[in-house]
Structure 1
Amino acid sequence: MKIKQLVVAGSLVLMAGGLAACGQAKAQTSKQKTLHLMQDTDLTSLDTSNTATLTQWNVLQQSMEGLYRVNSKNKVVGAMATKVVKPTNNGKTYTFHLRKNAKWNNGDQVTAQDFVTAWRRSVSSTSTSGYSYIYEGIKNATQISAGKKATKTLGVQAVNKTTLKVTLSRAMPYLSKMLTMPAFFPQNHQVVAKYGKNYGTTSTKMAYNGPFTVKGWTGTNDSWNLVKNTYYYDKSAIKLNKMTMQVVKDSTTAHNLFSQGKLDDVTVTGATAQGLQHDKHLKHVSKAGTYYLRLNMAKNHALHNQYLRQALNLVLNKNSLTKKVLSDGSTAAHNYVTPTLVTDPTTGKDFGTETANTARYNVKKAQQLWKKGLKQLGKKSVTLKLVGDDTSVSKTITQFVQAAVEQNLSGAKVTVSSVPEKAESAAVSSGNYDMQYALWLADYADPVSFFDILTKNNPQNYGKYTDSVFNAQITAAHGKNATNTKAYWQNMRTAAQRLNTTAAVVPLYNMTESHLVNSKLTGVVYHSVGENDYTRATFK
C-alpha cells in the first residue's frame, strides 16, 4: 500500500525517558457505550478518490461499507451486496445484487449508481489518491487512468437501481478480497453532485452507509466523533453508541492517556513499547506488512549491480535489529511477502514462510559479493544515499544500516538523509536516492498485492526493478493462469524466489503493532490485512 511508505513509517516515534505504571482510571465501566480511540496521523480527507491515508481508511472502516466486508473469522461476506457472487464469462463478469434495505445516513437508498460514481472518480486520470492502479483488471481502467479513454467506458454498469455489473479485462480470482477495501467503497452520487470538489473535505460534506457516521470533523481539527448510524441495515449488531477519535502522535502521550482511562485502545512504539512488553494490557497485532530497504536499480545507480544488492541483504543482522534495537515485538523479515498474509492452497503452507530467503546474515559472504560487485563496476568505492523520514524510529533504522554497511564492506560509504515525509517522497519519486527505509502493507490477502508494484511498468515501481523472469510470472498469473489454481500459485512461488535471488529489496522486519487495550473491551477484529474493525465492539 503506497500510503504505508509515507504515512505509517512516519507515524512511529521513539521516545526516551521513564514510563509510568500502566493502570486505567475507573471511568471505564461495564456500562460504557462510548469507545475512545486514537489515530497517529492527521485526517486530511474522507474522499477516497482524493487521498489514501491510514487515518482516512481507519475512519472509513467504521463508517462505510463496500460490496463485501471481512467478518470476525476473516471470511469475506456480503455487505452492500446480498452475498458473495461467483463470476461468469470465464471469470470476467460479476453481477452484484444490492440489499434493498441498504441506506445512507441521510435516508437515501444505496444504489448501483453510487458504486459507478465512486469507481469512475477513483480511476480517473485526474484522481489524486494514488490508487487508480488498484482498478487495473477492470475493463478499460488502465486506459482511463492514462487519460486515453473516458471514465464512462469503465467496466462498471448500473443495470438498475440494485444491480451492479462489473466487467473485467482478465480474470481476477482475488477480486472478492479486493472489494472489501475502502478504495472500492461507494459514494452517494447525489451528495457528490451537490458538493463537487468539496466532497469529503468535512464530515458534513459526506454521506455514510456503514455502522457509524462521522461528526465534528471540520477538515483541519484533530478530534472528531463517530455516532451510531440509525439507517444501517444491521444496526442491531452494533452495541456501541459512539466512538471518539483524537490524533495522538506521541507514543508517551498515548500511553499516559490510556493510563488515565481517557483512551481504550492505543498503539505505542519505540522506547515506550519496549518498556511495556510485559504489561498486562499489551496486545501484539501482527500485520501483513514488511519494512524493507527500497533499492534504486536504475542503470545510473550503483545498486543496478546485483552483487552489491545481495551483499546488502547479507550484511545486515536482522535478528539483532529486532531483538536489541527495536525490542518491541517485531520479528526479522527474510521475505518481501510477510508471513501471515495467506496460506498457499496448493501446499497448505504459509506463503511467506515457504518462500523465505534462505540466504541469511553472513558478513564474510557479503564481503565477497561486495568485492565482486565493485570489480564489475570498475570501482574501488561507492557512496550510497539512504533516505528516510525525520522520525526517531526512521533515524534509528537508517543509522543501523549505515553502521553495518560502512563497518563491514570495504569501499562503502552511506550518507543518510532524514527529511520530512514530503521531501522523502520527492526524493524517491525523482530517483534521487540509492536506498529508502520503506514499508509495504498488503491491500488484500494475496502475494500479488506485494508483487504488482515491482513489475516493470507499475507507477509505484520507484526502484526501477526490471526482471524478465519475474515479470513473466506476474503476467502469467494475471493472464493465462488466473483461474488455474495450481499454475497460479506456482507463478507466485517462482516470483518470490526470483525476488530473493536478484535481491530486488532488502527485507528488514515484519510489521507488528503494540496495542494497549482496555481489559473490558471485546469484539474488536484486529485484521492482519486491512484496517482494524471496531464496529462490533462492546464492553464486558
Structure 2
Amino acid sequence: MKLNKWLFSTGIATLALVLASCGTQSSSKKQDKTLSVTATQAMATADPDKADDVVSQEAIAQFMEGLYTTNTRGKVVPAIATKVVKPTNGGKTYTFNLRHNAKWSNGAPVTAADFVYSFQRQVDPKTKSQEVGHVAEIQNATAITKGKKAVSTLGVKALGKYKLQIKLIQKVPYFNYRLATELYPLNQKFTEKYGNKYGTSAKTTLANGPYVLKGWNGTNDTWSYSRNAKYYDKKAVRIKTVKVQTVKTNTTAQNMFESNAVQVTQITGTQVADAKQGALKKQLKITKMNQLYFMLWNQKRAELKNTALRQAVSYAMNRQSLAKNVLKDGSVAATSLVPTGNTKNPTTGKDFNADTGNLYPYSPAKAKEYWQKAQASLGTKHLTLQLLTNDNDINKSVAEYIQAAIEKNLKGVTVNVKSVPLTNEISTLNKGNFDFATLGWSSDFQDPVDFLNKASITNSVDFGKFNDPQYEALIKTIAAGTQSKTDRYQTMQAAAKMIAEKQGVTPLYQTSAAHLISSKVGGVHVTLLRDVLYRYAYWK
C-alpha cells in the first residue's frame, strides 16, 4: 500500500559511468549466475493497475517501466520518456516524447496509446482498483471513478504514436514520482485477451521493463525475473536471472544468507541487533523508509466507532518499547501520522514532527481513563476484539505486543489475534469483515498528504470507513493546491493534530529496512523511496 518520497542528485551521465564500470569488472559469463533473493510475502498480483501491497509493487517494478524510473540513489530519470519534462500551463500539463525503441516482451512497440489505455483502465470503476489515488490528480479522474463521467474523458491523450499528453487538475509537486514509481503502461490487446485474469500469473502478464516475470502461477511462494530480450537497454541489465523465494521467518532468512542460498534478504529484530555486532556487520545495510505502520478501525462496528475506546488503545501502546524491544531493526516510534524526515517546515526548516510534538504518548493512566469513558458509553465492562494481521514474523510479533499492551492496560478487554497471508488479509479488509487490523503504508513521494489521507474517505484504500466532516475539510484544503507553502504546511499540521484526537487511524511506528547484501554483489541499493531495482545489480 502503499506508498511518497524523494531527493538526491546523480545525473544520468554519472549513472552510465557506474554501469559501464560494472561491465569492465564483470564478464558476461559471471552475470549468467542466478542471483537469489527473498521476499517477505507472496505476490498478490502482477497487475500494476490493481497492486496495493508493497511486495507486489516491488515485484512489478522489476518487469514494468513507466515514463520515468529512479536510479540507484532514488533520483527520477527518464525511462520510456526521452527526458524528464517541465510541465506547462502553470504546472498542469505534461507533454512527453517517447523513445521509439521501447518494446513489450512479445515484440510489440510501447506507444502512447498503451499509457492512455492503462490510465483509463485504472480509473474505470469496472476495474475496481484500490490504487486510483495514483491517478487522482489527472483531469476528470475522480468523476470517472464515481461513475459521473465517461472513461474517455480522462485527461490523458495520445498526440501521436510516440507522443503523450497528461493534463492535471492542479499543480502537483510530487507528480514526477508518481510517473517513476506508480504509473505504468499496458498493452491493450494482451490485457484484454485475459480480462480479469490479467496479472494473475506469469503467463497472463506482459513485461516492458528490464526483466520478464517467470514461474509464478498466482499462488506460489517462488518466482523469478528473467532478463527481457526485448528491453531497449538490455545490455545494461547485468544479471540474467533473479530468483525470488518468500521467507516469512527471520531466522530462516538469515540462515539462508549465511549459507549463500540467497545473496539479498531482509532481516528484523534480534537478527539486526546481532548482525550489527557480528560477522555480518559489513554486509548489513539499514535504511529508514518513508513507511508507516498503523492500526485501522472498522467504523461499521459500534464498539470500534467509539472514539474513547480508540484513544484508550492508543494510550496503552508504548511505541518506544515496541521499536526498541520488539522490532529492534532501526524502526522508530510514530509521533504523528507522518513519518519523520518526510517534510520540513518551509519557514524554519524543522521536521514536521518537531512541530507537532509527540501526538501519541504512552500513558497507562489515560488509557484507563478513556477505557472507563468507553465502558460508560458502550454500557459494558467487557469487550472481546479480533486483531487482524498478516502472518510474517514481524507482523505477528507486533500483533502479540498490541494484544499484551491492551489486555494489560485495559482491564476487561480481550484481544484475539488472527494472522493470515497478506492476500487473505486484504480480501478480509475489502469485505469489512474485521474489528481492527494492522497495516503498513509505503509512499512513493515526499509529502504528508499521502499519509494524512489514510484517515480520509478520499483514501483509495479506505478499509476502516472513518468519516469526519472537519477532517475531510482539512484534507480537501490540503489537496486543492491553492494555499501558499506556509499555509498548506500549517493546514497539514492541524490535520495531524486533529486525527490524533479522533484516532481515525492509529500510527505505531516508522519502518526501517535492514538488508543483508552479499559482498559478492554490487549495485544493490535500497533508497528512502523504494526497494531494490535488480536492473542495477551485478556480480563482482
**TM-score normalised by the shorter chain: which range applies?**
0.7 to 0.9
2:14 maps to none
State the alpha-carbon separation in 2 of the partners of residues 516 and 106 from structure 1.
35
1:115 maps to 115
Give a deviation string over 1:487-526, Cα, whole Å, max 9, x none: 3323222222222233333322221222221023222231
2:246 maps to 247
Post-superposition offset of 1:206: 3.8
Residue 266 of structure 2 aligns to a residue whose secondary structure is strand
1:156-195 superposed matches below 5 A: 156-182=156-182, 184-195=183-194
Residue 226 of structure 1 aligns to a residue whose secondary structure is strand
Post-superposition offset of 1:241: 3.1
State the alpha-carbon separation in 2 of the partners of residues 419 and 222 from structure 1.
17
1:283 maps to 285
Residue identity over aligned pairs, in percent, reads: 35
State the alpha-carbon separation in 1 of the partners of residues 427 and 240 from structure 2.
42
1:11 maps to none
1:295 maps to 297
> What stretches of structure 2 of length at least 5 have no aligned partner?
4-24
Say whether 1:435 aligns with 2:420. no
CA 1:321 to 1:165, structure 2 compared with 1: closer, same or farther past 3 Å? Answer: same
After superposing on structure 2, the runs of 4+ consecutive aligned residues of structure 1 that deviate more than 6 Å are: none
Give a deviation string over 1:122-158, Cα, whole Å, max 9, x none: 2221214422243222222223223343322222111
State the alpha-carbon separation in 2 of the partners of residues 310 and 228 from structure 1.
51
1:228 maps to 227
2:317 maps to 316
**Are the aligned partners of 2:339 and 2:510 in contact in 1 as well (CA < 8 Å)?**
yes
CA 1:402 to 1:244, structure 2 compared with 1: closer, same or farther past 3 Å? Answer: closer
2:260 maps to 261
**Are the aligned partners of 1:388 and 1:395 in contact in 2 as well (CA < 8 Å)?**
no
Q: Which amino acid aligns with 2:293?
A: Y
**Are the aligned partners of 1:225 and 1:242 in contact in 2 as well (CA < 8 Å)?**
yes
1:464 maps to 465
**Are the aligned partners of 1:92 and 1:169 in contact in 2 as well (CA < 8 Å)?**
yes
Post-superposition offset of 1:109: 2.7
2:482 maps to 481
**Are the aligned partners of 1:398 and 1:416 in contact in 2 as well (CA < 8 Å)?**
no
Give a deviation string over 1:284-308, Cα, whole Å, max 9, x none: 232222222223445x624444444
Q: Which amino acid aligns with 1:40?
A: T
**Are the aligned partners of 1:170 and 1:478 in contact in 2 as well (CA < 8 Å)?**
no
Post-superposition offset of 1:193: 4.7
2:401 maps to 400
Q: Which amino acid aligns with 1:74?
A: G
Q: Which amino acid aligns with 2:141?
A: A
**Are the aligned partners of 2:266 and 2:514 in contact in 1 as well (CA < 8 Å)?**
yes
1:362 maps to 363
Post-superposition offset of 1:353: 4.8
Give a deviation string over 1:341-361, Cα, whole Å, max 9, x none: 344544433334543424522
**Are the aligned partners of 1:387 and 1:424 in contact in 2 as well (CA < 8 Å)?**
no
State the alpha-carbon separation in 1 of the partners of residues 103 and 424 from structure 2.
42
State the alpha-carbon separation in 2 of the partners of residues 312 and 220 from structure 1.
35
State the alpha-carbon separation in 2 of the partners of residues 396 and 477 from structure 1.
36
1:212 maps to 211
1:8 maps to none
Residue 466 of structure 1 aligns to a residue whose secondary structure is coil
CA 1:356 to 1:116, structure 2 compared with 1: closer, same or farther past 3 Å? Answer: farther
Q: Which amino acid aligns with 1:82?
A: T
Q: Which amino acid aligns with 1:254?
A: A
Q: Which amino acid aligns with 1:518?
A: S
1:501 maps to 501
Post-superposition offset of 1:378: 6.7
2:41 maps to 41
State the alpha-carbon separation in 1 of the partners of residues 149 and 207 from structure 2.
30
Q: Which amino acid aligns with 1:282?
A: L
State the alpha-carbon separation in 2 of the partners of residues 341 and 535 from structure 1.
27
**Are the aligned partners of 1:385 and 1:433 in contact in 2 as well (CA < 8 Å)?**
no
1:330-349 superposed matches below 5 A: 330-349=331-350
Residue 99 of structure 1 aligns to a residue whose secondary structure is coil
State the alpha-carbon separation in 1 of the partners of residues 224 and 248 from structure 2.
18
CA 1:327 to 1:124, structure 2 compared with 1: closer, same or farther past 3 Å? Answer: same
State the alpha-carbon separation in 2 of the partners of residues 247 and 147 from structure 1.
39
Q: Which amino acid aligns with 2:364?
A: V
Give a deviation string over 1:447-496, Cα, whole Å, max 9, x none: 111122322354533333333332222211222526x3333323222222
State the alpha-carbon separation in 2 of the partners of residues 48 and 358 from structure 1.
35
Q: CA RMSD in A?
A: 3.0
Give a deviation string over 1:230-258, Cα, whole Å, max 9, x none: 44344454333332223333433322221
Residue 478 of structure 1 aligns to a residue whose secondary structure is helix
> What stretches of structure 1 of length at least 5 have no aligned partner?
4-28
Q: Which amino acid aligns with 2:255?
A: N
**Are the aligned partners of 2:407 and 2:415 in contact in 1 as well (CA < 8 Å)?**
no
CA 1:468 to 1:356, structure 2 compared with 1: closer, same or farther past 3 Å? Answer: farther
**Are the aligned partners of 1:318 and 1:333 in contact in 2 as well (CA < 8 Å)?**
yes
1:522 maps to 522
State the alpha-carbon separation in 1 of the partners of residues 354 and 184 from structure 2.
32
State the alpha-carbon separation in 2 of the partners of residues 526 and 424 from structure 1.
26
Give a deviation string over 1:373-397, Cα, whole Å, max 9, x none: 545x274625151412363544433
Q: Which amino acid aligns with 1:36?
A: S
Moved more, 330-339 or 346-355: 346-355
Post-superposition offset of 1:63: 2.0
**What TM-score, normalized to structure 1?**
0.84
How many equivalent pairs are there? 510
State the alpha-carbon separation in 2 of the partners of residues 450 and 321 from structure 1.
21
State the alpha-carbon separation in 2 of the partners of residues 272 and 73 from structure 1.
26
**Are the aligned partners of 1:346 and 1:489 in contact in 2 as well (CA < 8 Å)?**
no
Post-superposition offset of 1:185: 0.6
State the alpha-carbon separation in 2 of the partners of residues 359 and 257 from structure 1.
38
State the alpha-carbon separation in 2 of the partners of residues 423 and 39 from structure 1.
17
State the alpha-carbon separation in 2 of the partners of residues 83 and 134 from structure 1.
21
Residue 72 of structure 2 aligns to a residue whose secondary structure is coil
Give a deviation string over 1:44-66, Cα, whole Å, max 9, x none: 54222354443332222122211
**Are the aligned partners of 1:527 and 1:533 in contact in 2 as well (CA < 8 Å)?**
no
CA 1:432 to 1:244, structure 2 compared with 1: closer, same or farther past 3 Å? Answer: closer
Give a deviation string over 1:177-212, Cα, whole Å, max 9, x none: 212224x11112343355545543443544332222
Residue 441 of structure 2 aligns to a residue whose secondary structure is strand
Post-superposition offset of 1:114: 0.9
